[in-house]
Chain A
């Protein structure tokens, strides 16, 4: 956790490059920095071992007459978030990009450019988030843009004739609409272009609109993603609680943690099934999903819903857990442990699984570090990163568990990390149930002052999920969501290069991509200089 000496190291390093401290809150330090100095400040933080969590553009014209770009860095070793705030005048909206020093900022800067109209100097820019037929000069996150405005649409036939091997947007290996274009030489993938953001639904804008209040946003946050929705709603309420200084009853923290782990169980089992399916081992797919069903039933028993649990409130949870439920939880996870052990044993005994997963889709530790990847992808490449350990939240400071770590960085390592995590989750749930404290599960009286800022992070099944909030009157002034897949997809380029074509679907799946999280929202000119193209209409 934070100590004064680590804080002063950070402050000293940043003051040298012309930044100054704006505010210190709990485990966050806010710095103000000019747009000319931001790159040096980012470099200083990076050399202290910081990871880029995300950046966010905010239309602060109503408050200060300026736009602002926030870069949120996490210093995992110190458990401190350092936030750089760059002010950008509205009549001359540009700032210096940090991408040359911090490659992980690539996407979030483009998103700020698309949604807020701030230009980034010193890097290549292109449209990322908004559809191709979206008119120039219309920026959804500016306050004057109404959330339900709909600029005119042009229905175009996309997908040009001369392409590499298209995977998606509708493809049997992907259960969500995303488009990958693989460029191959012979059987080897040489490059990959990605056109995502098919699931951009304008959630961040919606939360600022008149339709929503603080209390209603958890409902919206839960629907960011149907697999790890509870992570998002928990992260949102944690951010609000942190900003407003609301102290949540301990019992509520335990219940949230239990449900978060139940969600991790179902998510990892789901992924394991899909991975088996992509390797052509359908028996494994069916068994994983059969085992998973009891987790869904358990979730319904605990929360009332199979998915989109809806139990998070600001200040606590809506549903308590009684002894009857505790018995059911213990029985389910004991059965699950037994069945899962058998499944893993059977699965890893299939020689094709090991031989196809090992050595493919390798992400080296250096690449993983540069791209600030998160979750199982980071841990499979030898980076010790787990929000539950680095920034202990909810009840995780009270339980003991191991963080699985592999160094190979291949598909097998990512598979094994998730397998180990299922066992760890089962142990965590047992410990939490054992220590479940008494008392109420919600505080109902609280006040949320406006103008406060907070960063909250949760270890989702896919990695670190970050929510950044600036409070407003009655509803968030700005709410920024950074889902784990957002950070991991750029790593796919590194993983896919040189991989045999047949292993591409597994490699894409190995980061457990969750596009609906990522897209709350390329024209890549990679064709030139490539040798061969294969034309296929549908699928691989």
Chain B
């Protein structure tokens, strides 16, 4: 989880907690994460019972579900879409591609994931308030739900970041 905000997120979260509108932003992914997103929204996992609902415009969105490695062609449109979202901008980055570009992290036509996109967003003056990364190739629907709860501050993060220094020899 990454906090980079000057906006009062706690206050905003209290307001949206039980009615979270999500917008699905595909930046060139293979569809697998995307159909798992739909899986999470449909009756078996049924996140609509928690008030999570897919909307058709980033202007209505509380959270963006971000998939894909950010292809060169989609980049300007992705920036524009994220810019159109109101503050606080909460982003749930789904899948290996979204996180680090996945298997095509260094090819000529991809940017290599959300970290690289963040730099470009910053250059264009688009601030992002909170980001949660959900790994998986593709992500499991259960993981998407957990990631969402983490983003909304409803659960504590179970794993911790640990810096490890490789010993010599």
Contacts and interface: CB of A to CB of B under 8 A. Distances in A.
Contacts of A286: 42-43
B26 A148 contact: no
Contacts of A203: 104, 107
A307 B35 contact: yes
A202 B111 CA distance: 12
A201 B31 contact: no
A287 B35 CA distance: 15
Given A131-B73, A306-B140, A226 B39 contact: no
Nearest to B74: A198
Contacts of A132: 73
B77 A158 contact: yes
Interface string A505-532: 0000000001010010100000000000
Contact of B31 (A140, A150, A176): A176
B9 interface: no
Given A148-B108, A290-B44, A199 B71 contact: yes
B142 to A, nearest CB: 11
Interface in B67-93: 68-69, 71-77, 79-81
Interface in A478-525: 514, 516, 519, 521
Interface string A283-308: 00111011001001000000000111
A151 B72 CA distance: 10
A289 B137 contact: no
A177 B34 contact: no
A296 B39 contact: yes
A388 B135 CA distance: 37
Contacts of B36: 306-307
A223 B68 CA distance: 11
Contact of A170 (B38, B75, B81): B81
A34 to B, nearest CB: 33
B108 A149 contact: yes
Contacts of B44: 289-290, 293
A197 interface: yes
A147 interface: yes
A155 B79 contact: yes
A155 B120 contact: yes
- Which interface class (under 10, 10 to 19, 20 to 34, 35 or more) fits A? 35 or more
Contacts of A270: 35, 38
B25 interface: yes
A202 B108 contact: yes
B76 A140 contact: no
B32 interface: yes
Interface residues of B, number: 48
Interface in B93-116: 102-104, 106-110
A229 B106 contact: no
A169 B25 CA distance: 10
A506 to B, nearest CB: 16
B106 A157 contact: no
A148 B137 CA distance: 22
A307 B58 contact: no
Contacts of A153: 72, 75
Nearest to B43: A290
B169 interface: no
Interface string A174-214: 01110000000000000000000111111101100000000
Contacts of B103: 206, 219-220, 223
Chain B CB within 10 Å, residue with most, of A200, A224, A308, A538? A200
B138 interface: yes
10 contacts: A170-B81, A177-B27, A198-B73, A199-B74, A200-B28, A206-B104, A227-B31, A293-B44, A307-B35, A521-B109
In the complex, the 8 A-B pairs of residues with the closest C-beta atoms, listed nearest first: A226-B32, A172-B56, A289-B42, A226-B31, A202-B107, A293-B44, A226-B30, A290-B43
Given A155-B79, A205-B107, 5 more contacts: A131-B73, A155-B76, A197-B73, A307-B35, A538-B59
